[in-house]
Structure 1
Amino acid sequence: MKLNCVIVDDSEIDRLTVVAYAKRFPVLNIAGVFSCAEDALLFISKENVDVLFLDIDLDGSSGVDLRKKVPEIPCCIFITSHPEFAVESFEVETLDFIVKPFKFDRFEQAIRRLTEFMELRLKADLFEASIGGDSIYIKEGHEQTKVKLHDILYIEALKDYSLLITQEKRHCVLANIGALLKEVNFKSFIRVHRSFAVQKQYVQKISSQELILHNNVAIPIGRSFKENLNIFL
């Protein structure tokens, strides 16, 4: 996997720092380095870009504004001196938020998160339910893996993807948790949190804040989803 990245920062020292750190990761290909959002946007319109490393406080258009204009780019990591913009940045599909000044180990942590996300994204480019209705087929690499629905303990949301957790493995599919739960094949699952849905037969214990599943797996209960638990009463 090779990821084309663009670095945008109006500070030359900070640009050079990010470039130096990025060059230490073979997975990253530095496709472009820019001091303003306008030049970066022109480049992005002509090239294939996988990752943005953006400062927020730029001359002219801000890093957040730039991100809003290119939502099709899979990953965005903000690197800024302004932690107060963290909440706003995560409203525009931000993978990570690094506060300046930062050291290499913090950048390395962001790249680990980036590679994990992109690997899951590559694996999850195909998902479809089987005709029989008791299994699903998940594309993993060049093969399709058959997963029996009754083997899935719970579903965990991951942005536009979902993790299907069995006792043996975590499978990633290109479908958000809300869309999955509308499928007739997933009618045995109960949404108990914004990020989690559990299969009813695996619930062992219920408290005010969490569910305990088979093998002592703990799943949090979201306040707005507590009414869904009435099915167990």
Structure 2
Amino acid sequence: MTLSAIAIDDEPRALEVIQMHTAKVPFVKLSATFTDAFEAIPYLQEHKTDLFFLDIKMPDISGIEFLDCLRDVPMVIFSTAYSEYAVKGFDLNAVDYLLKPYSLARFTQACNKALEAKQLRHNSGQDNIQATEPFVFVKTGYEKEKIWLRELRYIEAEGNYVNYVLPDRRLLSRQSLSDALLLLPDRQFVRIHRSFVVAVAHVHKINRNGVWIDGREISVGASYEGELDAIRMLLKF
């Protein structure tokens, strides 16, 4: 299965990076690039497109405003150099969010999520659905379970395992906390302790010692105090 993609970014260098990365991802075909979002509209009227790589902050129109102009919205991977936009991801049906500058490995992870989403829709007979909520698949024992990112509160390390904590259950997976963090969108999930990664959107209280999620206090590690400042900036605490 192949994904037909376009990229929209007002910075030519950013488009060059996407071109270089997609050249190394065999299942993504980058069909066109645009520095002006409005120039992409006639192209989309003539060509079926599975996936957008879309900058959020552009001079004439934001990526979010551009999507509002479209009738049928393909899957979207947002990219931005501004971390404050990452939290908005929970309110938008995007596959993933890349914080510039991003690595080839992080870019490939985002593409894999888009491919899984297309395969899921195809297998369920819903290939005509244009957008999907962001999610990850997590291995639990011999199975894989789907986790909607809007539901994930935090991840807690337990020895050689991690617990993905959701409102109604905990999913235990054999992996490191660092590996778990690689599956998640930049800045939407932040490591604040050697044993905890938290969902920024679900933080409802912060003090100098840690954060609160669903009434539970999660302490910040001494070497992660800078991440706590980043959360304050994102949530404007």
Q: What is residue 83 of structure 2 aligned with on the other side? A: 83
Matched-pair contact (CA < 8 Å) for 1:52–1:77: yes
Q: Is the 8 A contact 1:64 1:89 kept in 2?
A: no
Aligned twin of 1:41: 41
Partner letter of residue 56 of structure 1?
Answer: I
Give the drift of 1:89. Answer: 4.1
Q: Superposition pairs for residues 170-181 of structure 1, below 5 Å? A: none
* Equivalent position of 1:95 in the other structure: 95
Equivalence for 2:19: 19
Secondary structure of 1:33's counterpart equals strand
Q: Per the alignment, in what secondary structure is the counterpart of residue 77 of structure 2?
A: strand
- Output aligned runs, 1:146-165, within 5 Å: 159=133
8 A contact 2:94–2:134 mirrored in 1: no
Shift of 1:47: 1.4
Higher RCO (CA-CA < 8 Å; seq separation 6+) = 2
- CA 1:64–1:13 in structure 2 vs 1: closer, same or farther (change >3 Å)? same
State the shift of 1:73 in Å: 3.0
* Identical amino acids, percent of aligned pairs: 23
- Give 1:148's aligned residue: none
Q: Which residue of 1 aligns with 2:118?
A: 118
The match for 2:179 is none
User: Secondary structure in 2 aligned to 1:26?
Assistant: coil
Does the aligned pair in 2 maintain the 1:49–1:73 contact within 8 Å?
A: no
Post-superposition offset of 1:102: 1.2
What's 2:6 paired with?
6
Quote the Cα distance in structure 1 between the aligned partners of 2:74 and 2:15.
Answer: 21
1:70 is matched with 70
Equivalent AA in structure 1 for residue 121 of structure 2:
R
Residue 90 to residue 6, structure 1, CA distance change in 2 (3 Å): farther
Could you say what the CA RMSD is over the residues aligned between the two structures, in angstroms?
3.5
In structure 2, relative to structure 1, the CA distance for the partners of 1:71 and 1:118 (3 Å cut) is: farther
Equivalent pairs, count: 150
Q: How much has 1:22 moved relative to structure 2?
A: 0.7
- Runs of 4+ residues deviating >4 angstroms: 167-172, 209-213
Contact preservation (8 Å) 1:5, 1:31: yes
In structure 1, C-alpha distance between the alignment counterparts of 2:52 and 2:133, rounded to whole Å? 17
Q: Distance in 1 between matches of 2:103 and 2:144?
A: 32
Aligned equivalents of 1:6, 1:62: Cα separation in 2:
16
Distance 2:34 2:170 in 1: 50
1:68–1:92 CA contact under 8 A, matched in 2: no
* Equivalent-residue separation in structure 2 for 1:43 and 1:116 (angstroms): 25
What SS does the aligned partner of 2:29 have? strand
**5+ residue gaps, structure 2:** 127-131, 153-166, 174-213, 215-237
| Pair member with larger Rg | 1
TM-score, with structure 1 as normaliser? 0.54
